Structure 1
Amino acid sequence: MSGKGFEGRSVIVTGAASGIGRAAALMFAKEGAKVLVADLNKDGAEETAKAIEAAGSTAVAVAGDLSDPQVVDEVVATVIRTFGSLDVLVNNAGITDSMSALADVEDAEWERVIRINLTAPFLLTRAALPHMLEAGHGTIVFTASEAGFRGSASGTAYTASKHGVVGLVKSLAVMYRGQGIRTNAIAPGGTQTNNLTNSLEPAKITALVNTMLGEAQPDGGPAPHGPTVMRDFLRTNPGRRSTPEEQAAAIVFLASDAAEMINGAVLPVDDGWSAV
């Protein structure tokens, strides 16, 4: 897109302190939108908002854990109070897992991944919908994943969470299409972000990276089962890693009037990986 396709519209982008979310927030602003930047990382969220304002657009930052209902209420109240409406919601915030197979998934990892990747966007969407329904229009875009299509792209917790996101998208599209609400998702393949370092403990990152590279574990123990299985599947991925901007462009398109008849779609942005 180019020009001011979102002039006068207000947009919430979660996970906008970095990566895909930051790129999407900047892109919406360039298209004329007023943007609420939401992220757990307060400094990063404020940096994104400042970058938007420095470019001549309007932004406000809200920091907090989006799986906390109080933070969710603050985000929605702030966008309505500051901008007067809510036209677009981008549920992008998420974390990865340690690629663990089910028998090795710890309770804490399962609960954290599901809470952030699935429960948080559910809560925010539920809070946003009344405002969109009252206005008679609204667009919601989720960041799903290649792991929402298949079982060979990540670990158990992440795969389950992204399959859940796909279910949310399809349910929302069916339930609210007659009330002016469109819901879609992008499904990124490999993308150049810092999601791994933001999500895992340093020891788990080291173990995961060593396994994926086929190198010995630092403690001399066996490589974890899940990453060992995933390694061969992920090495056969024929596509290149995308930039955050390429993913953001797909988000902005799905939120735009150009995608007016697209509803309930999960768009692979993966250089053809999902076609293999």
Structure 2
Amino acid sequence: MGRSIALALAREGARFVLAARTESELNGVRDEVTALGAEAITVPTDVADPQQIADLAKATLDRFGTVDVIINNAGTGTVLGPVQDTTLEYWESMINTNARSAFLLTKALLPTMLANQSGHVININSTVAKKGVSTASAYCASKAAMAAFGESLAAEVRSEGIRVTNVFCEPMNTWLRWAATPDFARDRVMEPEDVAQVVVDVLKLHRDVMVDDIPVRRR
């Protein structure tokens, strides 16, 4: 998903920072976006680690001086099971990666947006944030937490010229989907490129136009 968003933004001439745990994967995406003429740097980051997020924010501002858009796209969730079989460690890992990361990154970069009286925070979420599904309590709870964070943030910063958009996606054709549910029907998944285009389109809207929630579903 992150790669598709990066490529879509690169085609629009964006300058951006790529952050994820795996440096080799980051470098591969960086090479793809720079081949499209975009400027990008990579910062290997555990997005649930406050110090690493602080380092990421510093690297961003040191390189570009400001930030216009934050895209909270970190996500995980490859294990399904009933509540009684869900370990505390797994529950916490879901909350940390899927919700805590959005809070940490937004908190780190929000002061710059507030100073500019401008900015856009986009949270890539899941439809299970609105309606939980069986055997995925930890994942659903983490996505619901992310949604509530986004809604609260939007109410908090709207008067400061900052927009917040929550994109709620149905199952995507990503490795996470197939790791969690390898038998999921292939004709029911969405392509990451479609969601990436939604991100581009909402970023192109006039800054006075607010789009709070976008549900994205396969026809």
Scaled by the length of structure 1, what TM-score is found?
0.74
Q: 1:53 aligns with which of 10, 30, 34?
A: 34
Q: Determine which of 73, 83, 96 is the counterpart of 1:115.
A: 96
1:223 maps to which residue? none
Q: Could you tell me which residue of structure 2 aligns to residue 7 of structure 1?
A: none
| Conservation of the 8 A alpha-carbon contact between 1:188 and 1:268 | yes
Secondary structure of the residue that 2:188 maps to in structure 1? coil
- 1:252 paired with 2:208, answer no
* Structure 1 residue 130: Cα displacement: 0.2
Match of 2:153 in 1: 172
Query: Do the aligned residues in 2 keep the contact of 1:147 with 1:153 (CA within 8 Å)?
Result: no
1:267 paired residue number: 214
Aligned residue number for residue 124 of structure 1: 105
Please point out which of 89, 108, 116 is paired with 1:135.
116
Structure 2 partner of 1:71:
52
Partner of 1:241: 189
Give the root-mean-square deviation of aligned CA atoms: 2.1
Paired residue total:
219
Shift of 1:243: 0.9
**2:13, 2:37 within 8 Å by CA — same for their partners in 1?**
no
Answer yes or no: is 1:36 the counterpart of 2:17: yes
| Structure 2 residue corresponding to 1:151, chosen from 122, 129, 132 | 132
Asked whether the 8 Å contact 1:97–1:155 carries over to 2, the reply is no
For the 8 Å contact 1:141–1:255, the answer to whether it is kept is no
Tell me how far apart the structure 1 counterparts of residues 27 and 66 of structure 2 sit (CA, whole Å).
21
Deviations 1:32-71 (A, max 9, x none): 1101111111111111111111121100001120111111
Q: Counterpart of 2:128 in structure 1: which amino acid?
A: A
The amino acid across from 1:268 in the alignment is: P
- How far off is 1:102 after superposition? 1.8
Q: After TM superposition, which residue ranges in structure 1, 4 or more long, deviate above 6 angstroms?
A: none
Alignment identity in percent? 28
Q: Which one has the largest radius of gyration? A: 1
Structure 2, unaligned stretches of length 5 or more? Answer: none
User: What amino acid maps onto 1:33 in structure 2?
Assistant: A
Distance 1:256 1:68, change over 3 A: same
CA contact (8 A) 2:83 2:135 kept: no
Question: Alpha-carbon deviation of 1:257?
Answer: 2.6
Give per-residue Cα distances to partners, 1:87-125, cap 9 Å, x unaligned: 000000100142222222111110111110011111000
CA distance in structure 2 between the partners assigned to 1:53 and 1:68 by the alignment: 28
